[in-house]
Amino acid sequence: MSTSPPAGPTPEEMRDMLRAMTLIRRFEERASEEYMAGRIGGFLHLAIGEEAAIVGTVSALRPDDPLTSTYREHGQALARGTDPRAIMAELLGRATGICGGRGGSMHLMDRERSFYGGYGIVGGSVPLALGLAWASHYRGDDRVSVTMFGEGAANQGVVSECFNMAGLWDLPIVFLILNNQYGMGTPVERAAAVEDFYPRATAYDIESWKVDGMDVLAVRAAISEAARLAREERRPACVELLAYRYKGHSMSDPDTVRDAAEKERWKARDPLVTFERVLLGEGIMDASAIAQMQAEVDQVVDDATEFAKGSPEVPVDQLADQVYAQPWNDDPRGSALVNP
């Protein structure tokens, strides 16, 4: 367990990666249907188009490397191996959800799989990842903390604060800037003085580079190297992944701002299709094996959705459970008073 996985995946790993990407795609397509049917509330941010960035990253890490993400994080949880049932149930706000219905789509966490959560305040999760890296530094273990955030988040001051502390203290962290080129409706050129984001980390003495985020193998190779730097050389690293999201910012965004031709250009580089071609070309899977895998994934998604729909709601008398790890009363509405 002391070294990062090698950059080049085995055929079996490649099959697993394609399956994970397919699961994310199909799961999110189903989630979007459930949202349209009114069974999912709140915000629902889809990462469709970003599967290579997610799976390439997760597959390059050790399962115990702490991972944090934004609100666009179903894929990270799925790639880490969280039960799709528990994710879909969380999206539907059910008691069986991975966070007991407290978090919803934006706030998945799977502590057991070192997935330390999705966060809704843009940029605000990055210092948490720095703290997870600090803990490894403090204890002298060899885990690497990885934090994925958007290019929009990179404009938040706190992200620069974290670059500085990571560089200053040589913390084992990989900053992963998922540049999907838009923060809601704002393209990079209207939000950033310089269109490349990776040089920002370079300014803090962090090794940093940019990679094609639509190519799962390129992502995996880059994150492997970044994780190796952090794990073995105890140096932070930063990778900018250039990618594209195929859907609007969230389900409530009709996506009218982005140019149709631009969308088509990026859809022509669909990370799943591209990677399927690689597997076919190398003879690792044939068309029927891919079709069979897709059918299995669809079954998993069906099962997760049925499970979620059939799951009980969260009992209202548990409303105030978990506000505190050490509570002082059991008032179901929550209360600052000792004995209300």
Residues that bind another protein (CB under 8 A): 66, 97-103, 107, 109-111, 116-117, 119-121, 124-138, 145, 157-158, 161-162, 164-165, 168, 321-326, 328-329, 334, 336-340
- The answer to whether residues 153 and 123 touch, using CB atoms and an 8 Å cutoff, is yes
Interactions with ligand TPP, residue window 207-246 (CB under 6 A):
none
Over its C-alpha atoms, the chain yields an Rg (Å, rounded) of 20
Site map 1..40 versus ligand TPP, x via CB under 6 A: ----------------------------------------
User: Of the two residues 81 and 120, which places its CB atom closer to ligand TPP in the complex?
Assistant: 120
- Between the alpha carbon of residue 65 and those of residues 17, 112, 115, 170, the distances in Å are 18, 11, 8, 17
Q: Closer to ligand TPP at the Cβ: 82 or 125? A: 125
Identity of the amino acid at 204: Y
Is 239:176 a contact under the CB 8 Å cutoff? Answer: yes
CA nearest to 149, candidates 289, 50, 267, 25:
50
CA distances from 59 to 164, 223, 241 (A): 27, 9, 15
Distance CA 340, CA 338 (A): 6
In the complex, the smallest distance separating the C-beta of residue 157 from another protein, rounded to whole angstroms, is: 7
Binding partner selected for residue 184 from another protein, ligand TPP, none, CB under the kind-specific 5 to 8 Å limit: ligand TPP
* Shortest reach from residue 177's CB to ligand TPP, in Å: 9
Tell me how many residues contact ligand TPP (CB under 6 A): 14
Q: 119 contacts which partner out of another protein, ligand TPP, none, CB within 5 to 8 A by kind? A: another protein
185 binds, among ligand TPP, another protein, none (CB under 5 to 8 A by kind): none
Length reported for the chain: 340
Contact 246, 48 (CB under 8 A): yes
Per-residue tokens: 171: 């913390």
Chosen from ligand TPP, another protein, none, partner binding at 150 (C-beta under 5 to 8 Å by type): ligand TPP
Q: Residues in the site for ligand TPP, rule: CB under 6 A?
A: 70, 72, 120-122, 150-153, 180, 182-184, 249
